[in-house]
């Protein structure tokens, strides 16, 4: 890959693994087009020999050993309640993912290609009902690809939480939480994630302003500047930003903030489910002062306090 092909920090682009799940309805077979952020994919392999786990739901196909790490494997089709065509598994693959420091494999019917997509072309899945269910799946965003087909970005973190394989560590709170005054801006497209971060920041004494993505957060900053003008950096003590968000991602948002002299001195900490070191480096390159993996309470409190203190000097 040449330098021109490298995904640039702040470009508001992401790379997706495009994969397919086929669904049998009567005599017809439908192709579901899905995607997952490349940053969460360790590797893609053929379906290995699996050891079944008695007493687990049928969508947990079993476990296998990958270089001395035991990895659970989930059938996405079974979890979504989809009737699979007879030949669906002839090209099946396991996508080995890592997020929130958890390794898990997902069986898909076909892994097609890597796609580079602008976050501005990704819309929130507003058509999904309630908790984001669509055929039993969790969708965070949608985008159109060739032939006007729709690609659905799957929220595998929600899948893993539903399976009980990962729970945010919200209870490991330090005995004495350092307290501050002033405001904090939180941006995350997940209502659940915003709630966790908001409660943590409020326990530290901050008044919290919420935004759903980078565009929304820039608008909130403009509104705050119209009120506080040059003293805003003294009022807004920290910004806590997710990375993956429709319309404008966290890295592009951070680059925009750091390029604007009105906001550039306000520290940014990323709080993301992406747990690879490359993304941490990209976050620092984009202008972040810290990078946290969702959600570990002890580390969150310590890092936020460290960053805010360093900007109070």
Q: 3-162, superfamily in CATH?
A: CheA-289, Domain 4 (2.40.50.180)
* Mean pLDDT taken over the chain: 86
Query: Predicted confidence band at 9 (pLDDT cuts at 50, 70, 90)?
Result: low
Distance of CA 186 to the CA centre of its chain: 15
* The predicted structure's pLDDT at residue 130: 41
* The predicted structure's pLDDT at residue 2: 36
Side-chain half-sphere exposure of 292, counting CA atoms within 13 A: 25
* The predicted structure's pLDDT at residue 14: 84
* The predicted structure's pLDDT at residue 88: 86
CA distance 185 to 71: 37
* The predicted structure's pLDDT at residue 51: 95
Question: How do strand 110-118 and strand 13-25 relate by DSSP bridges?
Answer: antiparallel
* The predicted structure's pLDDT at residue 106: 95
By mean pLDDT, which of 26-40, 53-67, 127-141, 246-260 is the weakest? 127-141
Terminal CA-CA length for the chain: 43
3-state SS class at 159: helix
108, 189, 186: which is closest to 155 by C-alpha?
189
Backbone CA torsion sign across 13, 239, 278, 73: negative
Contact 36, 273 (CB under 8 A): no
* The predicted structure's pLDDT at residue 313: 67
| pLDDT tens digits, one per residue of 79-110 | 888 899 988 889 999 999 988 788 899 999 99
User: What does CATH list as the number for 183-310?
Assistant: 3.40.50.2300
Q: Is the pTM of this model over 0.85?
A: no
Query: Predicted confidence band at 127 (pLDDT cuts at 50, 70, 90)?
Result: low
| pLDDT tens digits, one per residue of 223-236 | 999 999 999 999 99
Side-chain half-sphere exposure of 73, counting CA atoms within 13 A: 25
Delimiting residues of CATH 2.40.50.180 domain(s) in the chain: 3-162
Neighbouring residues of 77: CB distance < 8 A, sequence distance ≥ 6: 21, 22, 23, 84, 88, 107, 109
Residue 5: DSSP 8-state: G
Contact 179, 237 (CB under 8 A): no
> 284 or 313: which carries more pLDDT confidence?
284
Delimiting residues of CATH 3.40.50.2300 domain(s) in the chain: 183-310
| pLDDT tens digits, one per residue of 186-203 | 999 888 889 999 999 999
* The predicted structure's pLDDT at residue 100: 78
Query: Predicted confidence band at 137 (pLDDT cuts at 50, 70, 90)?
Result: very low
301, 245, 308: which is closest to 274 by C-alpha?
245
């Amino acid at each position: 890959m040449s330098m021109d092909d490298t995904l640039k920090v702040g470009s508001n682009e992401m790379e997706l693994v495009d994969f397919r799940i086929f669904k049998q309805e009567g005599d017809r077979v439908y192709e579901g087009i899905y995607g997952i952020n490349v940053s969460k994919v360790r590797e893609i392999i053929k379906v290995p020999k699996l050891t079944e786990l008695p007493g687990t739901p049928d969508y947990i196909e079993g476990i296998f050993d990958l270089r001395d790490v035991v990895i659970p494997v989930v059938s996405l089709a079974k979890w979504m309640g989809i009737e699979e065509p007879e030949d669906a598994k002839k090209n099946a693959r396991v996508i080995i993912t890592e997020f929130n420091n958890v390794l898990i494999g997902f069986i898909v019917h076909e892994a097609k290609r890597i796609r580079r997509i602008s976050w501005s072309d990704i819309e929130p899945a507003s058509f999904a009902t309630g908790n984001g269910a669509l055929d039993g799946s969790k969708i965070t965003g949608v985008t159109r690809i060739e032939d006007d087909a729709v690609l659905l970005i799957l929220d595998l973190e929600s899948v893993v939480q539903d399976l009980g394989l990962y729970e945010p560590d919200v209870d490991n709170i330090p005995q004495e939480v350092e307290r501050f005054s002033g405001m904090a801006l939180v941006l995350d497209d997940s209502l659940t994630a915003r709630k966790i971060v908001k409660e943590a920041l409020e326990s530290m004494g901050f008044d919290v302003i919420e935004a759903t993505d980078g565009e929304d957060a820039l608008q909130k900053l403009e509104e705050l500047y119209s009120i506080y003008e040059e003293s805003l950096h003294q009022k807004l003590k920290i910004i806590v930003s997710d990375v993956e968000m429709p319309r404008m991602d966290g890295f592009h948002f951070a680059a925009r903030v750091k390029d604007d002299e009105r906001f550039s001195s306000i520290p940014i900490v990323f709080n993301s489910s992406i747990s690879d070191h490359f993304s941490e480096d990209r976050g620092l390159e984009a202008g972040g002062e810290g990078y946290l993996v969702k959600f570990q309470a002890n580390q969150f409190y310590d890092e936020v306090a460290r960053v805010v203190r360093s900007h109070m000097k």
